[in-house]
Structure 1
Amino acid sequence: MTETNDAQFPPAPIHPALATALEARGYSQLTPVQIEMANRGQAEADLLVSAQTGSGKTVAFGIAIASTLLGSAQHFEAADRPLGLIIAPTRELAIQVQRELDWLYGATQIQTATCVGGMDMRKERRALERGAHLVVGTPGRLRDHITKGALDLGALRAVVLDEADEMLDLGFREDLEFILGAAPAERRTLMFSATVPRGIAELAKTFQKDALRVAASVSSDQHADIEYQMMLVRRDEREHAVINTLLNSDSTSALVFCHTREAVRHLTARLANRGFSVVSLSGEMAQSERSNALQSMRDGRAHVCVATDVAARGIDLPNLDLVIHADVPSNPATLLHRSGRTGRAGRKGVCVLIVPEHRRSAAQRVLSLANLTAIVRAAPGIAEIEARYRRQILDTALSADEPDEAEAAFVSEVLEKVAPERIAAAFLRQQLTARPVPEDLAPLPVAELQARKTKRDSQFEHEGGPREPRKPDMEGGVWFTLSVGRKQRADPKWLLPMICKAGGVTKRDVGSIKIEDTQTRFEIAADKAAGFTKQINRPGSTEKGVVIAPAGEVPGTARQAKPKFGKAGKPGKKPAHRGQAAPADGDHARKRKGKPKR
């Protein structure tokens, strides 16, 4: 954050009622956009403001409209029709904005109301009837309330469009024009946008009067608190790299981005099966589900959130220090919006782009257009993660307190009956079992990190990826079958970890893996076969839709149904037909044709 040049804090231009709230909140500095709004926002002019995500925009426009809403008064009179309107692109952002403004205006006796998609319209209507000084909402729901006469904008003094560029991208232009057209001509209009494309400029020209242009961010300084890493992987090991990156990170809170809802569902299931405490965010979820997911991240019950771009737009998760792009961002704006979830308000963050070899040039281009540089590195492997595990286990043992009075007698009894080496081994096994198993990634030589190999890429296209060397048959090994075969694009690289997890064995206990048309046959060491059979018969031992059985049984007769397979050949929904557009995401995302959902 940038220190102010004023001798006092907060600066004198800030409305006294808000200055009290800022001091009580522990603010000693303002961000650049907040300083701009403190110095220029009180001029009662319309504003067109460029500011990046994570720059403190909510507090900034709260500062800017304070004098417009309150005048010289220290608190609001009884609430009637709204004096201020904040429009945001998504439900989560709208709710977050209301939460921020509630504390910022806490000393003013303000009454706020939200009008967002996915919530009960009757409750919103009752809140509007009781009266609100400030309304925060999404375009589609606000238009619904205006059309039905529940929201009267006749007394409106200020309108703020937050993330205006995103609202245009989502197809909300018609709704915005309707809302602004229903507001009094004498109002103030403030537009906040990360970029100012032609659509925003046209909207400003139509609905603002001699707007003051404010550029509150400098591109060369953006995301200075974020370390960017470009992790190059083979194209069939993208999900494995995500798992290993999470396992190799000190992060207590991570956000993983995917392009589509289906990808979010699939990756969430894979992470849950690997033992991660994970939640997801996508536009198809009910508001209550989205709210519960975010609350789980905030209170620490979940440590990983898998989300689509729009669903995570504007959310602020505390202590989020790792963002992973499971899919390469398609443009610099998407990269910046995604990455802006971390490195906020002076905190440090790490942003990892998982980049298949053949997509390296596309990732470099997006980084270049965003004026960012990234460290090129390989994904962490099993040895690196296991070494990390051992350091953590040793630290846990070294930091343990001496036995207290109640424990001392039993500790002595255990030491008398069990050798220290066996106790240490039991502790080690217990600790390792509690941690997810890392994925086996094929190493990329330095030469491969620098250039794409045409011959290898052709092999990927025609064979679906490289094959692992076949192990020799084990002496006396026991054969099992798995209900996934060549037709489902089975690959040892993801079958082997699945087999180990399902049966509680290590990779050394697995012999040959023979992939056939509709099933896979694999061999388990003779001394592990009985335990393996017992383990796979436990409910929930295998991934959903996958059947593992002794080779003498017919796959599909066990308790689970035959799976459907998605594009990657792993359990999930069938992919859309080639040429079929992926479903739009976000709150009330407008389709190209037809009436938008509100």
Structure 2
Amino acid sequence: MFDFDMLGLAPTLNTALQKAGFNEPTPIQNEAIPLALDGHDILGLAQTGTGKTLAFGLPLIDHLLSRQGKPAPKSVKALVLAPTRELVNQIAESLRGLMGDTHLRIGTVVGGQSINRQINFLSRGTDILVATPGRLMDLMDRGAVDLSTVQHLVLDEADQMLDLGFIHALRKIAPALGTPRQTMLFSATMPKQMEELSRAYLNNPKRVQVSPPGKAADKITQSVHFLDRNRKGDKLREILSADRDALTLVFGRTKHGCEKLMKSLVADGYNAASIHGNKSQGQRDRAIKAFRDGTTTILVATDVAARGIDIPGVAYVINHDLPETPDNYVHRIGRTARAGREGEAISLCSPEEVGLLGQIEKLMKIDIPVASGSRPAASEAEKPGRRGGGGGGRGRGRGQGQGKPQSAGKPGGQARRRRSRRAA
């Protein structure tokens, strides 16, 4: 059964969707695509892994297919901005697969790659440009790109694009764009202040929300282990050893901590790699490819990967360190249970991080089930946000706390399953 043809897309796109195995639109696609095809500005909110890229990409391509003529030199017809290199590449890859043999051109500009090569590509003009804000501004400063012809603007992971790390870049880029234009903002989370800020870029937008902001996908099984910080290394290895062949994404808080953790896992015989801001783009691309192919089964990452990896086979997300921003927890665990699959999100929480856990549970309006240990009393927990550990050194003890766990289950459970713009 093929249901995309009910949305009013061009026949070329319906054919491409069928070849790619997409038969039925997801809720966010079903609601957003007809509105976007009608030219409305869109504020779209949906869980990670629910098809937001196609929700904006399909109407974007449809609009461009209806217009004849090649783009003028240095010009851009549609601009997609995303916060990380990985997400830019992922978006471009998804859209390129739908464009097939059409006349449309798509390109990417990100930091960490040859700017001269990007200048050469842009000199011929492009229909769709997917970019990180920092590198795009570099190209604007060099006069390498003309954004006055942009008729469509998309902000993916809009909450982060409107945050302090990128808002200054956005305020410089937006006035250079063509008007009138269609603007679409998509994200899994949207704090109130960010939504208010978004109004400056939207014109009478249609709000499309298919799940409450901050809600994780239904097929993600969540749990938390309470333990001392110096015991995290042992607990992590216990979980990893329970299912060594599963694709597992491990999140740390700092670049140095992630690298140290990865090296300690490799030294202990685990098949691990890492990605973070200190890695070159080539190193990051190779690590993700190896993880996607299953050559590497464990990927240790900072939040650079929280929004930039779409690998359906990821069975586990393990928070070795809880994120300091609760929204990032939602994005992190959204790397599993993608495309209708099941997955498991496991958090290791030290006393110093109990406050961070509370913020996450408040955002998600849930109590995350306890797999082992017991939640420290308020007097035991230090002030939230204290930076700790990240190295994953192996503690001598293997105790998991005293107290009866609130929910039982062996490791792995039933699934078997700074944001500086220049850093992008």
Give the TM-score taking structure 2 as reference length: 0.85
Instruction: Output one character per residue of 1:410-448: Cα deviation in whole Å (capped at 9) or x when no partner.
Output: xxxxxxxxxxxxxxxxxxxxxxxxxxxxxxxxxx6xxxx
- The one of 36, 40, 57 equivalent to 1:41 is 36
The Cα shift of 1:491 comes to: 6.7
- Deviation, structure 1 residue 59: 0.8
* Matched positions, count: 393
Partner residue in 2 for 1:182: 176
| CA deviations over 1:3-24 (Å, ceiling 9, x no partner) | xxx9844324223221111111
Would the alpha carbon gap of residues 199 and 115 (structure 1) be closer, same or farther in structure 2, given more than 3 Å must change?
farther
How far the C-alpha of 1:454 sits from its partner, in A, is: 7.7
> Structure 2 residue aligned with 1:261, among 238, 255, 265?
255
Residue 114 of structure 1 aligns to a residue whose secondary structure is strand
Counterpart of 2:13 (choices 9, 18, 31) is: 18
Partner of 1:278: 272
Kindly tell me: are residues 250 and 153 of structure 1, through their superposed partners in 2, closer, same or farther at Cα, counting changes over 3 Å?
same
Aligned-partner SS, 1:108: coil
Task: Find the partner of 1:206 among 200, 220, 223.
Answer: 200
Match of 1:52 in 2: 47
Query: In the TM superposition, what are the counterparts of 1:155-166 in structure 2 within 5 Å?
Result: 155-166=149-160
Classify 1:287/1:59 alpha carbon distance in 2 versus 1 (closer, same or farther; 3 Å): same
In structure 2, what residue type is equivalent to 1:321?
A
Q: Look up the match of 2:59.
A: 64
- 1:376 counterpart residue number: 370
Residue in 1 aligned with 2:78?
A: 84
Equivalent position to 1:133, from 121, 127, 130? 127
Cα pair 1:251 1:321 within 8 Å, conserved: no
SS at match of 2:123: helix
Distance change (3 Å), C-alpha of 1:266 and 1:129: same
Residue 222 (structure 1) aligns with = 216
Residue 375 of structure 1, CA deviation: 3.0
Residue number in structure 2 paired with 1:248: 242
The CA distance in 2 between the partners of 1:266 and 1:51, in whole Å, is 34
Tell me, yes or no, if structure 1 residue 351 matches structure 2 residue 345. yes
CA contact (8 A) 1:234 1:357 kept: yes
- In structure 2, the CA distance between the partners of 1:308 and 1:317, relative to structure 1 (3 Å rule), is same
State yes or no: 1:293 paired with 2:287. yes
CA distance in 1, matches of 2:96, 2:376: 53
Residues 454, 146 of structure 1: alpha-carbon distance in 2 compared, 3 angstrom cutoff = closer
Partners in 1 of 2:129 and 2:194 — Cα distance?
A: 23
In the superposition, the TM-score normalised over structure 1's length comes to 0.61
Q: Contact between 1:55 and 1:345, CA under 8 Å: does it hold in 2?
A: yes
Describe how 1:468-547 pairs up with structure 2 within 5 A. 492-493=396-397
Distance 2:341 2:394 in 1: 42
**What runs of 5+ residues in structure 2 fail to find an aligned partner?**
383-392, 399-417
Deviates more, 1:367-376 or 1:29-38: 367-376
Paired with 1:146 and 1:327, the residues of 2 have a C-alpha distance of: 38
Query: Equivalent residue for 1:31?
Result: 26
2:89 alignment partner AA: I
Aligned-partner residue type, residue 345 of structure 1: A
Q: In structure 2, give the amino acid aligned to 1:209.
A: N
Change (3 A) 1:21 1:284: same
CA distance in 1, matches of 2:43, 2:371: 40
Distance 1:365 1:8, change over 3 A: closer
Residues 66-111 of structure 1: per-residue CA shift (max 9 Å, x gap):
343222x6xx643433211111101010011000000122242321
SS at structure 2 position matched to 1:133: strand
* Structure-1 residue corresponding to 2:332: 338
User: Secondary structure of the residue that 2:340 maps to in structure 1?
Assistant: coil
Q: 1:339: how far off?
A: 0.3
Do the aligned partners of 2:232 and 2:395 also contact (CA within 8 Å) in 1? no
Tell me, in whole angstroms, the C-alpha distance in 2 between the residues paired with 1:220 and 1:174.
25
- Residue by residue over 1:212-241, the C-alpha shift from the partner in whole angstroms, topping out at 9 and shown as x without a partner, is 222232459631010011122233201111
Structure 1 gaps, min length 5: 1-5, 379-443, 459-488, 495-583, 591-595
RMSD: 2.7
The separation in 2 between residues aligned to 1:324 and 1:146, in whole angstroms, is 39
